[in-house]
Structure 1
Amino acid sequence: MTLAIFDLDNTLLAGDSDHAWGEFLVDAELVDPESHRKQNDQFYQDYLNGELDVMRYQRFALAPLIGHDMQKLDAWREAFMASRARPMYQQKASDLLDHHRRRGHILMIITATNRFVTGPIAEELGIEHLIATEPELCDGYYTGEVSGVPSFQEGKVLRLREWLKDHQETLEGAWFYSDSHNDLPLLRLVDHPVAVDPDPTLEARARENGWPVISLRD
C-alpha cells in the first residue's frame, strides 16, 4: 500500500510541539524557568540552523521526566495537550489527512520529537503509525536517555527503513510532507516530496527540484 508520511512540527501542527512542551514546563514552574527557557530557545535555534546536537538536546528534553511516576506525567501531558498542543491543530492539515485516507493510503507521522509528547497528538489526529524518538524506560520510569536512534535527519531514513522491513512495505509511490531542511534526506527518498510552509532553505531546494510547495496554515 502507498505511504503518506508527515512531519509533525510546523507541518501538521502550526508550531513546534517539542519547543512548546519546554514552554509549558516553564510556565507551569515544573523546571527552573530562566535556565530551561534559555536552553530550550537555544536548542530550537540550533535546530532551525541545522546545527542541532540531537543527543544533547534529547537528554535536555527528557530530563524533566526523570523520577516521576506515570500518573503525574500523564496529568502534566494532558494539561500540555489542552493548553499548547490542541491549539496548534489545523483544519487544512485535517483535510489533507482525510484526502489520503480516502485514497486508501497508510498514514504515518515521523518526527524527531519524543513519543511521550507526540503519542497523544498522533492518536488524536487519527494516525496509527508513529515513528518518534523513543525515551528509555526502566521499571516504569523514564531514565532521561534515548532508546535506539533518534528519528532526526538521516535517523528518520534509518528508522523508516526498519519500519518498512518490519511491516513488509515499500516506499513505492510514497508521499512525504515536511517544513524543514533537516528532512531533506527523506524528502529526496520518496516519489512525492512536498514542502509545507517551508523554511527558506527547504523552499529553495524545493523550487530547484520542482517539488510542490503548499501551506496548511489556516
Structure 2
Amino acid sequence: MNLALFDLDHTLIPIDSDHEWGEFLARTGAIDATAFRKANDEWFAHYQAGTLDPVKYLEFAFGTLSKFPRAQLDAWHAQFMDEVIKPSMVPAALALVQKHLDAGDLVAIITATNSFVTEPIAKLFKVHHLIAALPEFDAEGNVTGRLAGTPTFGPGKIVHTQAWLQEQGKSIADFPQSHFYSDSQNDIPLLAAVTHPVATNPNDKLRAHAIAQGWPILNLFDAHAQ
C-alpha cells in the first residue's frame, strides 16, 4: 500500500472552494455582498501571496457560518454543490484520484479549507479521509464561530497528516511510496516530506521551486480548458 495525499483547491478543482462559497452566500443575499466580497477578496489575496494568517481567516469564515442554523447552511451547501462545485469537476482530476484508489493506496484530501465546505466535495471524489480545518459545533450542531484545534495550513499540514497516520499506527516513512499533489508554495513543507511530490497546476512560486528541485509538474486542467 502506498500513500496518496491531495490538496483540493486549484489542485483537484480549478477554483477555490472557500472563496466560491463566500461568493455564493453573497449572490444568494444571505450576507451583505459588498462588505463580504471586499473582505473575502482580501483574504484570498493573502492566501495567494503566502501571507495568510490562517487562524484569523478561519475565525472570519466560521463567524459567517455561525450566523445561520445548521439546517439552513446544509440546504445552501447542497445548492452550492449543484451550482458551483459539480460543474467545475474535471475528468482528469477524478481519474487521477481513482487511479490511486484502484491501486489500493491510502488516499486522503488535506486542505486548509474548512471541513464544512469540503467534506461533500471529498465525497464526490470517493475519498473517505479528509484532513481539514474543523469548526466548533454546539450541542445542537450549529457552528459556534470558533476553530476546533489548529489550522491545516502550510507546515500545519505535516502536523495533521502525522497525527492522522499515527491514529492508524503508521507514519509517512512506513509507505514504500508517498505522493502529495498540490498547486501552492504554501504546501512545500509537506511536498518535501513525501517520496513523490507533484506540483499540480502549480502557481508561479511553486513551479519555480519544483523546477529547481526536479519535481514533476502535472497540469490536470489543460485538457479541460481545451
- TM class by shorter chain equals over 0.9
* Other-structure match for 1:127: 127
**Aligned partner letter, 1:181:** Q
More displaced stretch, 148-157 vs 163-172: 163-172
* Other-structure match for 1:45: 45
What is the 5 A alignment of 1:24-173?
A: 24-139=24-139, 140-171=141-172, 172=175, 173=177
Q: CA offset at residue 38 of structure 1?
A: 0.5
* TM-score in terms of structure 1 length: 0.97
Give RMSD over aligned pairs: 0.9
More displaced stretch, 3-12 vs 54-63: 54-63
The number of aligned residues is 218
In structure 1, list runs of 5 or more residues that go unmatched: none
More displaced stretch, 35-44 vs 99-108: 99-108
Q: Which runs of 4+ in 1 moved over 3 A?
A: none
Matched, 1:14 2:18: no
The alignment partner of 1:123 has SS state of helix
Q: Distance in 2 between matches of 1:59 and 1:29?
A: 21
More displaced stretch, 201-210 vs 99-108: 99-108
**Aligned partner letter, 2:129:** H
The alignment partner of 1:51 has SS state of coil
Write out per-residue CA displacement over residues 14-41 of structure 1, whole angstroms, 9 at most, x where no aligned residue.
Answer: 1110100010011011111111000100
Residues 70, 143 of structure 2: 8 Å contact kept? no
The alignment partner of 2:147 has SS state of strand
In structure 2, list runs of 5 or more residues that go unmatched: none
Write out per-residue CA displacement over residues 25-76 of structure 1, whole angstroms, 9 at most, x where no aligned residue.
Answer: 1101111111100010010000000000111111111112114322111101
Residues 67, 141 of structure 1: 8 Å contact kept? no
The alignment partner of 1:64 has SS state of helix
**Aligned partner letter, 1:162:** A
**Aligned partner letter, 2:120:** P
Residues 183, 200 of structure 2: 8 Å contact kept? yes
Counting aligned pairs with the same residue, the percent is 43
Q: Distance in 2 between matches of 1:148 and 1:188?
A: 24
* Other-structure match for 1:183: 187
The alignment partner of 1:9 has SS state of coil
The alignment partner of 1:11 has SS state of coil
* TM-score in terms of structure 2 length: 0.94
